[in-house]
Amino acid sequence: MSLEQFKNRNVGTQNYVKLDLDHTPTSGWCQFKQVVKRTFKPELFVGLWVTLREMINALFRGKMHTTQYPFEKLPISPRYRAIHDMLRLLESGHYRCIGCGLCEKICIANCITMETRYDENQRKEVSEYTINFGRCIFCGYCAEVCPELAIVHGQRYETASEQRASFSLFEDMLTPIDQLNLQQEYQGFGAVSPNADENIKKTPLAY
Amino acid sequence: MSEVQTVDNMVTISIDGVEYKAKEGEYILNAARANDVFIPAICYLTRCSPTLACRLCLVEADGKQVYACNTKVKDGMSVTVDTPNILEERRAMMEVYDVNHPLQCGVCDQSGECELQNYTLEMQVDSQTYAIKDTERHTANWSSVLHYDAGLCIVCERCTTVCKDMIGDSALKTTKRGGDKLDKSLKDSMPKDAYAMWNKLQKSIIAPSNGTGSTDCSDCGECIAVCPVGALVSRDFQYTTNAWDLKRIPAVSAHSSDGFAIYYETKPRSISDRREKIFRVTNEWNFVSLDGSARFGYDFENEDVTKDEKAFANAVEALKKAETIRFNSVISNEEALMLQTLKEKLGVKLYNPEVRPFQKFLKLYSEASGKSLYNSDSTKAMKCDFVVSVGGALRNDSPGLKYAFNNIQKMNKGAGLYFHPVGDKLIPTFGKNVEMFIHKAGLEEASLYLLLDLFADKSKLPADVKDYIESFENGKLIDMLGGDSEKFMAGFDKMMKKKEKFVLMVGEDYYGHPKAENLAKLIVLLEETAGFEVVMNPPKSNALGVALICDLDDEATGYTVGYNENGDFRLSALGDGDLDLPAFNQQEGTVTTLSKRVVPTNVAIDYGGYVLNDLMAELVDAPRLTIDWTPYLPTDKGYKSVAFDDLANSFDNAGNDNRGYLLDVTTKEVELPSVEKFDENATLEGDIVYRCNPPRQFSDFSDKAHQIFEAFGLYASEERAKELGSKVEVVFENGSIEVDVVVDKKMEGNIVALSDFKSAQNVYELFGESRYATVTIREV
Amino acid sequence: METATMLPEVTAAGVIIKAVLILAVIAAIAGFGTYIERKVLAFMQRRLGPQHVGPFGLLQLAADGIKLFTKEDIIPQHANKIIFAVAPVITAATAFIALAAVPVFPDFTIPLLDIYVPSIASDVNVGILFVLGMMAAGLYGPLLAGMAQANKWGIIGSARTAIQFLSYEVVTGLSILAPIMMVGSLSFVDFNNYQADGTWIVVYQPVAFVLFLIAGYAETNRTPFDLLEHEAEIVSGYVTEYSGMRWGLFFIGEYANMITIGVIASIVFLGGYNDFWIFPGWLMIIAKIAFSFFFMLWVRAAWPHIRPDQLMWLCWKVLMPLAVVNVVITGIVMMIVG
């Protein structure tokens, strides 16, 4: 594509498409006509009708829009980057993290730290793992780089707490072993939200 | 540059159409590397023999496909690195290497510093053509430090090569893998060299060469360093961190006098404890090979020190009233200069029993020779082809010289003579042309006379010496030194064949020898009449620096301040003194190495306490920093007035050591010294104890490191240890010591070796200057 | 008139009781109005509105009251402190004084004390004039508030107050002149009685009604004419520097004025408190005022603001001429018919 059209900065010479607006009234009579037209055109009443209709919709047709947040929650998009989750292997229940340290490396806020060691089974074991949520910018690189889909962004977005550290240890993020059946697989970065269909609406310009 | 490049030993070759200068007789690969030209190669190690295991270095030279690692350059040679055929071969080779290689890069300790990964990407291997049934391969711990994962091994044989050609332990070999045979049809279908490489790969795996499950070696860990993949790692390091998290700090090994260039690799020790910790030590393994103390003896730092003002005030008081400062050789040049300044300004005595004999011997030597220092070093020694070691337990005292001794045999088709009262079973395994003389303690002069007899240009010798030598007929000297004269003389001509450069390695025994002056003169005579280069082994660490900088005294008197040594007041970097000072990995400064090089070392671990310079500022006068002393090192001793921050700290691609600077050696014309005859009957008789540390142990600092396991004790050969029992009391003339008996399977003969690395045991006092003592040994 | 003769005597006690009643009830309603406004606007935007304090959020009013009373009373450093303090009182006071001449509830007698409480605290015979006058005097509230607070937004707010209130006072007066001509009285009771036959004045005077509503919105500072404190343009206009209960007084005044306008519109144009079909008069007047109030909220939800220049243009070039023409035509028709 040529950049010519962008380089022409002489305002007014571009090919603007003009909206089909009424002409500006020139005489007093024209202005009066415009006022009368605007006054008695039902547009004002369209406005009144729309608001009234929405009120009726809300009150009597159950189309109230409000989600009463602390009491009811909307499902969040799988793309949302909330507090991290550490997933387990469904087969064995063992945590997936292999301690490769890529998340630690890629972390641009430098908030992930891990300790690994050689364990009794001659495997690399993650002995400690922590994310400093005071620093974390929730960029999602750690989840993106993880070769084992072990660290993912979870659903916990309510991160107010007396201690930032309350979320940050491996055990806090790890799926509890008794809730393994509820563990949600990571959908990936292009995933659509579960209620995506409901959320599709006509644009309000349709009227 | 260590060697002057002259026009006549340089040839011109062209690589990919560009002309380069190369040393004659060099391998194409080395010539290319020296000129910053990249030729892929996995198995080749500079300074070691080509193994031809990987075959990646295939190039076309003058129209013929050759391996760059074992083809020598010729004048006018035209080399092409990449031809279509070679590229195909290389890609096939990398595909073969990737066959069945476990995909555990995520946890592998190589963590990206992997040559397999690098070359796989370099050759753009994006698909796999080959496959074969995998063989079950087990992981194993080979020793207290070595961990081998056969699954990750690509059998490049670098570990076996370095162990054999450089270290000399030959503790590793290739063994049968028991893999499936390759499909015959592949022979025609796949590139020729790749097939041959795969064929060999399917048959071999690495194992300890003694046939057991564990290596019988000095635990130097060089095999770990050279491993291109994560197959060989240190047990302590395994799975503890990723390489990319580590901060590399160029430094100098604190233990042996070789001054090995090392990198301390540090990172915070844990999530809750953010203090830096050294996780491992690495090295430029193509250019320098470490011993076990340098690689594993790194965690001797003085931890958690804060500025204790009271202790500091006490230290100032103690130094003010001190008559003597006792110290050892684990000290930087700058600190040595500070102590010397104290001596000059406050008049204290400097007492250092480790270095004093060496200092005296150097003086004797330079008086006799007119040279301010010996003329060779470990790098130069490696280029010789006949090596003689006298007066030192090479394996224990000087890993660098041991490597050179071995390397000469392996790489230069060399020969070697080893004179020592304590036999060492390892030395003869270095090569066919190595002869070991286990002579009686006290006959050191005889060994030098024998060398004069064997090598000297008789016409140059003073007449009396010539006559004296000729008075020993029919190999009497050889027999006297414990050799078999007939057998030796029969083989000697073969040993001497095509030998051009001779080097004499002088060990610590000579320094404190009662006849040290005569020995020094004999060495000078050898140098002048037999064309020997001489290299001396400074006892430990920075002994050469101390010997050059400090004006040492013969004895300690009165109130003594010990610096890492015993004393009425102790300054210590070991954490047990009256005032803490930084350990060697916590301070910056310079070290004078065996190779007469002044090299900089840097701070790896933070230190919060007082340093010697603070005491100096209080006592006399001092610049702001310790390293501000560097330019004031004594220039009359060969030091240069160079600021610390201006010192280089690197190797170039050709392997030249550019660290720091070389000491200036001055030469005066002097006459040949007149030597004395030796006394045949001056030998020590009875139970003899030799002051000698086990390999990897040098001082309290190496002992503090958790991966150095060698114990303080009385080391003896297997037979002798049986006689002695498990614990003995060794009674000297002026005292006794109770120690455990430790078996050293590589020792030979009846002489036992008593460790001296614990300063608290005060072994130096027991021995006096000599390293040998006649004692009574009683079982406890 | 016939009904007047039946009424008991209006005593001072009755008037005081009435005044207190008006003050209490209207103030409460004004507060309640904020709740209603929030709820209605929320519903029209399909939201829930306040609902957590008390049942259906009814006690939100109390919560707001507590908040307003306990908030720190801040007087800016360079403000004219006396005027700054007096201005909100003027707004609230004029709004309530205006209600004195407006019939708010039907009359009743307190049974035991036998005190007659009239429907109008003070049935002056120039009731309408009094109410309009008082509302016009209310202009001093915002005007002084804006000027006293040493704040540029406040100054702009008070400038707008001056032009907007003064201009639309003309329209209000002219538009209501036509019904006054028809009824021939300035008393609200007469207006009510005029429409007792069930024919509302709005039928005769639709133009006057519309003009009165528009002008009324402008006088009460309601959308689409809330230029005095237009958040998008001048932060908060004349109330920028006010906090706590001082701020609250402005709003009690505004809501009281809204009710006053609702009452005037109901009585003058929409049949007053006459019975209608089966519905008794008191219910009708409440329903009419409530609808009037609701309509203000509805308009706020539906329509956007207009610009100050449009406001002036509309007043002087459209509404005022229309009102004059309406008065002239009313006069001519009355001449011909009457």
Q: For B323-343, what is each residue's pLDDT tens digit?
A: 999 999 999 999 999 999 999
> What span, in angstroms and rounded, lies between the C-alpha atoms of C126 and A139?
72
pLDDT greater than 50 at residue A206: no
- The DSSP code for B421 is S
Across B747-772, average pLDDT? 91
Nearest CA in chain C to A71: C52
Residue A203's pLDDT band (cuts 50, 70, 90): low
- From the list B105, B107, B271, the residue facing A128 with the nearest CB is B271
CB atoms B271 and A105 under 8 Å: no
Point out the least confidently predicted range of B506-520, B739-753, C260-274: C260-274
Q: Which residues contact B12 (CB under 8 A, 6 or more apart)?
A: B19, B20, B21, B22, B75, B76
Across B201-211, average pLDDT? 92
Is the CB of A30 inside 8 Å of chain C's CB atoms? no
Chain C positions in Cβ-Cβ contact with residue A35 (cut-off 8 Å): 314, 318
Q: Scan residues 68-107 of A and list those with Cβ closer than 8 Å to C.
A: 68
Nearest CA in chain A to C39: A55
Across B282-295, average pLDDT? 93
Is the CB of A25 inside 8 Å of chain C's CB atoms? no
- The DSSP code for B244 is G
Across B381-407, average pLDDT? 93
CB atoms C45 and A64 under 8 Å: no
Residue C8's pLDDT band (cuts 50, 70, 90): low
CB atoms B244 and A147 under 8 Å: no
> What span, in angstroms and rounded, lies between the C-alpha atoms of B267 and B242?
10
Higher-pLDDT residue of B66 and B474 is: B66
pLDDT greater than 60 at residue B606: yes
pLDDT at B680: 87
Is the CB of C45 inside 8 Å of chain A's CB atoms? yes
> What span, in angstroms and rounded, lies between the C-alpha atoms of B364 and B521?
8
Parallel/antiparallel/unpaired status of strands B10-15 and B18-23: antiparallel
Query: Do chains B and C have 3 or more beta-carbon pairs under 8 angstroms?
Result: no
Distance from CA of B235 to the nearest CA of A (A): 9
Parallel/antiparallel/unpaired status of strands B532-536 and B502-506: parallel
Distance from CA of A88 to the nearest CA of C (A): 41
- The DSSP code for A62 is S
pLDDT at C1: 38
The two structure tokens encoding residue B470: 């000729």
Q: Which residues contact B621 (CB under 8 A, 6 or more apart)?
A: none
CA angle (B301 as vertex; B296, B304 as ends), nearest 5: 145
The two structure tokens encoding residue A110: 């430098």
> What span, in angstroms and rounded, lies between the C-alpha atoms of B133 and B162?
30
- Output the average pLDDT for chain B: 92
pLDDT greater than 60 at residue B719: yes
Across B720-745, average pLDDT? 92
Across B464-471, average pLDDT? 90
Q: Which residues of B416-427 are buried (b: 16+ CB within 10 A; e: fewer)?
A: bbbbbbbbbebb
Residue B1's pLDDT band (cuts 50, 70, 90): very low
pLDDT at A177: 84
pLDDT at C4: 45
Point out the least confidently predicted range of A22-36, B284-298, B328-342, B509-523: A22-36
Distance from CA of A187 to the nearest CA of B (A): 22
Is the CB of C299 inside 8 Å of chain A's CB atoms? yes
- From the list A113, A118, A128, the residue facing B239 with the nearest CB is A118
CB atoms B107 and A114 under 8 Å: no
Is the CB of C69 inside 8 Å of chain A's CB atoms? no
pLDDT greater than 60 at residue B613: yes
Chain B positions in Cβ-Cβ contact with residue A100 (cut-off 8 Å): 105-107, 242
Across B350-354, average pLDDT? 94
The two structure tokens encoding residue A10: 């002489």
Task: Identify each DSSP E strand in B27-118 by its residue range.
Answer: 58-61, 64-67, 78-80
Q: Scan residues 52-111 of A and list those with Cβ closer than 8 Å to B.
A: 98-102, 104-105
- Are the beta carbons of B334 and B627 closer than 8 angstroms? yes
User: Which amino acid appears at position C320 of this protein?
Assistant: M
Q: Which residues contact C88 (CB under 8 A, 6 or more apart)?
A: C141, C145, C242, C246, C247, C249, C250, C253
Percent of chain C with pLDDT strictly greater than 90 = 3
Nearest CA in chain A to C317: A32
Go through the domains of chain A in sequence order and give each one's CATH number.
Answer: 15-65 (no CATH), 84-182 (3.30.70.3270)
- The DSSP code for A151 is E
- Are the beta carbons of B777 and B730 closer than 8 angstroms? yes
Omega before residue C321 within 30° of 0, cis: no
The upper half-sphere exposure of residue B129, i.e. CA atoms within 13 Å in the direction of its Cβ, equals 15
**pLDDT tens figures, A43-91:** 778 888 888 988 888 888 888 888 888 888 887 787 888 888 899 998 8
pLDDT greater than 80 at residue A1: no
Alpha-helical runs (H) found in C184-274: 188-194, 201-204, 206-219, 231-234, 244-264
Point out the least confidently predicted range of A202-206, B758-762, B765-769, C221-225: A202-206
Nearest CA in chain B to A123: B239
- Are the beta carbons of B361 and B520 closer than 8 angstroms? yes
Residue B475's pLDDT band (cuts 50, 70, 90): confident
Residue from B733, B738, B732, B735 nearest B779 by CA: B738
Across B230-252, average pLDDT? 93
Distance from CA of C300 to the nearest CA of A (A): 9
Distance from CA of C198 to the nearest CA of A (A): 27
Is the CB of A64 inside 8 Å of chain C's CB atoms? yes
Percent of chain B with pLDDT strictly greater than 90 = 78
pLDDT at A65: 83
DSSP B141-166: E-SSSEEEETTT-----HHHHHIIII
CB atoms A100 and B107 under 8 Å: yes
- Output the average pLDDT for chain C: 83
C-beta atoms surrounding B215 within 10 Å: 23
Please write down the HEC assignment for all residues of B437-448. EECCCCCHHHHH
Is the CB of A63 inside 8 Å of chain C's CB atoms? yes
pLDDT greater than 60 at residue B674: yes
- From the list A32, A48, A57, the residue facing C302 with the nearest CB is A48
pLDDT greater than 60 at residue B560: yes
Nearest CA in chain C to A61: C46
pLDDT at C5: 47
Residue B742's pLDDT band (cuts 50, 70, 90): very high
pLDDT greater than 60 at residue A99: yes
**pLDDT tens figures, C103-120:** 766 667 777 777 777 777
CB atoms A51 and C47 under 8 Å: no
Distance from CA of B448 to the nearest CA of A (A): 53
> What span, in angstroms and rounded, lies between the C-alpha atoms of B93 and B699?
47
- From the list A104, A124, A128, the residue facing B239 with the nearest CB is A124
pLDDT greater than 80 at residue C280: no
Across B536-552, average pLDDT? 94
Distance from CA of B146 to the nearest CA of A (A): 14
Chain A neighbors (3+ CB pairs < 8 Å): B, C
Parallel/antiparallel/unpaired status of strands C115-117 and B139-141: unpaired
Higher-pLDDT residue of A178 and C122 is: A178
- Are the beta carbons of C95 and C102 closer than 8 angstroms? no
- Phi and psi angles of residue B58, each rounded to the nearest 5 degrees, phi first: -50, 125
Which residue, among B241, B267, B273, would best test binding to A if mutated, counting the most A CBs under 10 Å from its CB?
Answer: B241
- Are the beta carbons of B169 and B217 closer than 8 angstroms? yes
CB atoms C48 and A55 under 8 Å: no
* Crossing angle (nearest 10°) for helices C12-44 and A43-60: 90
Go through the domains of chain B in sequence order and give each one's CATH number.
Answer: 1-82 (3.10.20.740), 309-357+543-662 (no CATH), 373-536 (3.40.228.10), 688-779 (2.40.40.20)
- The DSSP code for A21 is P
Query: Do chains C and A have 3 or more beta-carbon pairs under 8 angstroms?
Result: yes
Task: Identify each DSSP E strand in chain C by its residue range.
Answer: 108-110, 115-117
> What span, in angstroms and rounded, lies between the C-alpha atoms of B343 and B363?
20
Point out the least confidently predicted range of B109-118, B329-338, C88-97: C88-97
Nearest CA in chain A to B149: A122
The two structure tokens encoding residue A45: 């009443």
User: Which amino acid appears at position B450 of this protein?
Assistant: L
DSSP B711-752: PSSEEE-HHHHHHH-SEEEEEETTEEEEEEEEE-TTEESS-E
The two structure tokens encoding residue C200: 């509302």
pLDDT greater than 70 at residue B315: yes
- From the list A100, A117, A130, the residue facing B240 with the nearest CB is A117
Q: Provide long-range contacts, Cβ within 8 A and 24+ apart, for C116-121.
A: C116/C7, C116/C8, C116/C9, C116/C10, C116/C11, C116/C14, C117/C14, C117/C17, C117/C18, C117/C21, C118/C7, C118/C10, C118/C14, C118/C15, C118/C18, C119/C273, C120/C18, C120/C188, C120/C189, C121/C15, C121/C18, C121/C19, C121/C22
Chain B neighbors (3+ CB pairs < 8 Å): A
Q: Scan residues 215-274 of B and list those with Cβ closer than 8 Å to A.
A: 235, 238-242, 244-245, 268, 270-271
Chain C positions in Cβ-Cβ contact with residue A68 (cut-off 8 Å): 48
pLDDT at C219: 84
- From the list B105, B244, B270, the residue facing A105 with the nearest CB is B244
Residue from B149, B158, B178 nearest B50 by CA: B158
- Phi and psi angles of residue B670, each rounded to the nearest 5 degrees, phi first: -135, 160
pLDDT at B322: 93
The two structure tokens encoding residue B276: 């830096």
> What span, in angstroms and rounded, lies between the C-alpha atoms of B469 and B478?
12
- From the list A99, A114, A128, the residue facing B107 with the nearest CB is A99
C-beta atoms surrounding C48 within 10 Å: 17
Is the CB of C46 inside 8 Å of chain A's CB atoms? yes
pLDDT at A202: 66
CB atoms C44 and A47 under 8 Å: no
